[in-house]
Structure 1
């Protein structure tokens, strides 16, 4: 019975129906009170008087009620809310009810479970602002963004971001993935624009550090350690699960997601990076309120940055190593590009600049072939890819020899026909 229906409302409705039809009409009463026909028939048996519920005043004792204190003190108060564990313990105490009743009791008394984390008293402030001098520190991080292309398709790419902690100069570049080879490319490109600092602050990513020893000393990734030695900077790692130590670059990635990407479409990675380069230039020429400087002006008026080594020493990091497959293809950024088949099985270096992908020799860095990247999943063949196919050699050494057979003398092979012709002429 609906709690909105009172005895006064019911009595007045019954009087109105009888006055209108001269007798009781349950259909009209149903429309007026919005009660079911079964409820109205039940009320009609009681002369339309609301009777109290049969369970009113009865004690609501269930099978689990005698064990409530045991559950509250021994399990819920100690943070244990696993229904299977509590059910097994209750069965040993003599409980005859079901597992479902235990689940229902736990869900109604979750307020007894203490919080998972209890804040200690006098906890010191974990976040403190700090400042650095020009050329002292850059902050670096990866972020992942969903980009919409001109056809409405959504694809995910990795956003490499680097910020000067002194003035807030920004650098953003996008890659298909966050592999270590893309990390090296992004860092070199950022250093070309911003200069080389004394220290780079970053996360504990596997492409930078493998693990930490017992005293906290980091064990660097071998490739990354060689890279920072070549460039001439040091790396400082953030505390684990402490992202606001490098809050400037974290805020930049959030700003990219909420400002740069929103409402825009891009054809491919090249188009995305061109737009990002323009966007960074515009934002770097606007005054930063937190620092009260224009990053572009503040950054380049100091000569506190180192310069990169010569480009020839950076090619191994700008052009990752690849192996040419047996059918003359090299895989780069999840797409395959053709190489003349005579280089099958050899090592090459692959470097993409914009929409041009160059395939270089591993040692001298000479160009073998250049592709125009069309960002299609279809294989990109090169001209004459199979025309220079080398002669296939036997897989095993040849041990047998062929004996020399002299050619047959065929100069007199038609003499027998001339002899037969002469004999037939003599017979005549």
Structure 2
């Protein structure tokens, strides 16, 4: 151990002891000294003699990876930017007998070798050269961004934005959306941008974004169908940067950062329309008005020159994607991208029933063949899920109300009948329809007086089952009309009357116990 490390441990030990004597806890000491709480506890448990012995063992401790010093040193000499994780993998690859050690041990060992042989980490340096300014009207750059903005209720929500900048004049445009941009919404944003800058450049530079590209293979770009048609109609050239290379379109990257740090920072979100309106105002008074740091001229002054060299802008209709039809299943659902989505009851009308599905942001819009919207669902994350709406389920209340109406047609007391039905609803809501069917079948051939007596009896005794009502009805029908029905307690285990339950137990007088506990002594 070198003298510097020894002094650090020495000062740490005595500072921990001093703060502990001052009444501070181990957690507070670790925060104050920026060290691990376990280190604080370990030092607090030592006395001066134990600490001295601990420091001596540290000074003469051998490094377990010392046999591999030459290998690691040679590697670092050849490749200064080699990480400790890569060194660890190389040691295991080249040396079968390499011991099993912690990654932190490898990190400390590599750090020690760099310090010993003066081999600092030197990342690979990319060479840059100045680029000539592009001619007026030649190029624009496009990119997307997102930002967590504070809403008026104090919560954070994410907004997405589309930006375009003319490479020569630095004239900017920004458009905000509440949902991630799709191919169609990105095309709509292009139209808004071209309308704002009053023209179309010869070339537009993009990232390799899935909004525009369906696949890429070693430079072979395949555009999405809708964007390919749009580019053909608009007749501008496109250029896609290489993956993970944002520096190749630095102008638009700076615009994205500018929007976040100058316009969105500490701004309160009220609604999307207001945010887009505020953004246009910000472009007019700040982003396109102030002098640019590189050109030393306001972008709007340069744009006045550039707009005459842009292809004139005229609105075009954005064609919809071809409608894809999906077969409706018997249970009024469709399968879309490995998830099931419900449709309103009655959508399925037989074999061959189909609907169209369109992805609009985070929602799936389902429409019939006449393009009439049937419903829309939030698209879940993942696959194998059922997305159902409560309103699409069978309405059992209609059938239940019809049964209650049929019961009311029988000549019986409506108040007692409704009270009995309500007790069934409370106790057996899932079986209400079955209970009503049984009741309807039961009272079909019963006279009004008997059914009224049975209903009153059940309501008084809290009976809310039609099966129980049926047994009571049999009892009423067997008993003579003038006799009152005698009820007795029912044994819940055997179902029969218990004779023992009718026996009255003997009772004692409390005065007998008082005379025993408090005898009168003469």
Q: Which string of whole-angstrom CA distances, capped at 9 and with x for unpartnered residues, describes residues 267-306 of structure 1?
A: 2322222221221222255242332433334324542222
- Tell whether the 8 Å contact from 2:141 to 2:166 is kept in structure 1 after alignment: yes
**Equivalent pair of 1:321/1:350 in contact (CA under 8 Å):** no
Quick check: 135-144 or 125-134, which moved more? 125-134
Change (3 A) 1:62 1:105: farther
Q: Helix, strand or coil: the match of 1:158?
A: strand
Equivalent residues in 2 for 1:259-408, closer than 5 Å: 259-283=262-286, 286-289=289-292, 290-301=294-305, 302-311=307-316, 313-316=317-320, 346-347=355-356
TM-score computed with the length of structure 2 as normaliser: 0.47
Greater helix percent: which structure?
A: 2
Q: Is 1:73 the counterpart of 2:83 in the alignment?
A: no
Query: 1:141, 1:202 within 8 Å by CA — same for their partners in 2?
Result: yes
> 1:170: Cα distance to partner?
0.9
Pairwise CA distance, 1:174: 1.3
Inter-CA distance 102–138: structure 2 relative to 1 (3 Å threshold): closer
SS of 1:228's equivalent in the other structure is helix
Measured in 2, the distance between the counterparts of 1:36 and 1:294 equals 65
Which residue in the other structure is 1:138 paired with?
A: 140
Distance 1:174 1:60, change over 3 A: same
Contact 1:196 1:233 in 2 (8 A): yes
1:198 aligned onto 2:195: no
Cα deviation 1:123-178 (Å, max 9, x = unaligned): 7x424233122221111111121111111121222211000112111110112103
Asked if residue 234 in structure 1 is aligned to residue 231 in structure 2, the reply is: no
**Which residues of 2 match residues 25-44 of structure 1 at below 5 A?**
39=47
Q: 1:131 to 1:88 in 2, by over 3 A?
A: closer
1:173-198 residue CA offsets vs partner (Å, 9 max, x unmatched): 11210322222121111112112111
SS at match of 1:185: helix
Unmatched segments (≥5 aa) in structure 1: 5-29, 44-50, 329-335, 353-358, 370-378, 382-428
Q: Which moved more, 1:287-296 or 1:154-163?
A: 287-296
Unaligned 5+ segments in structure 2 are 1-6, 12-20, 23-42, 76-81, 334-340, 374-388, 392-522
Residue 77 and residue 346 in structure 1: after superposition, are their counterparts in 2 closer, same or farther (change >3 A)? same
Residue 253 of structure 1 pairs with residue 253 of structure 2: no
Q: Aligned equivalents of 2:367 and 2:195: distance in 1?
A: 22
Shift of 1:242: 3.0
Q: How many Å separate the matches in 1 of 2:359 and 2:46?
A: 80
| 1:61 to 1:88, Cα distance in 2 relative to 1, 3 A | farther
> C-alpha distance in 2, partners of 1:306/1:163?
16
Q: 1:275 to 1:54 in 2, by over 3 A?
A: closer
The residue aligned with 2:105 is 104
Partner of residue 186, structure 1: 189
Once the 2 structures are TM-superposed, how far is the Cα of residue 360 of structure 1 from its aligned partner? Answer: 11
Distance of 1:154 and 1:349 partners within structure 2: 29
More deviation, 273-282/229-238: 273-282
1:166 equivalenced with 2:174 (yes/no)? no
Higher RCO, 1 vs 2 (CA within 8 Å, ≥6 residues apart): 1
d(CA) in 2 for partners of 1:210, 1:129: 31
CA contact (8 A) 2:141 2:164 kept: yes
Please list the CA deviations of residues 60-89 of structure 1 after superposition, one character each: whole Å capped at 9, or x if unmatched: 25483xx61x21123464357565875898
Compute the displacement of 1:256 (Å).
1.0
> For 1:358-411, what per-residue CA distance to the aligned partner results, in whole angstroms no more than 9, with x for missing partners?
x99999xxx979xxxxxxxxx9x9xxxxxxxxxxxxxxxxxxxxxxxxxxxxxx
Deviation at 1:3, TM superposition (A): 4.9
Q: Are the equivalent residues in 2 in contact too, given 1:348–1:362 (CA < 8 A)?
A: no
Q: Could you say if the C-alpha distance between residues 73 and 308 of structure 1 is closer, same or farther in structure 2, counting changes exceeding 3 Å?
A: same
Quote the residue 2:477 is aligned against. Answer: none
Q: Following the alignment from structure 2 to structure 1, what is the Cα–Cα distance between the partners of residues 183 and 162?
A: 12
Structure 1 residue runs of 4+, over 6 Å off? 35-38, 87-91, 113-117, 320-328, 341-344, 348-352, 359-363
Alpha-carbon separation, structure 1, partners of 2:47 and 2:69: 41
Whole-angstrom CA distance in 1 between matches of 2:187 and 2:263 = 24
2:318 partner SS: helix
Structure 1 residues 150 and 314 mapped into 2: Cα distance closer, same or farther (>3 Å)? same
- Deviation track 1:207-257 (CA, whole Å, cap 9, x = no partner) reads 33345555x453433332221111110102224433233222111110111
- Assess if the C-alpha contact under 8 Å between 2:231 and 2:237 holds in 1: yes
Are the equivalent residues in 2 in contact too, given 1:149–1:265 (CA < 8 A)?
yes
Q: CA–CA distance in 1 between the matches of 2:141 and 2:44?
A: 69
Q: Bigger shift: 184-193 or 74-83? A: 74-83
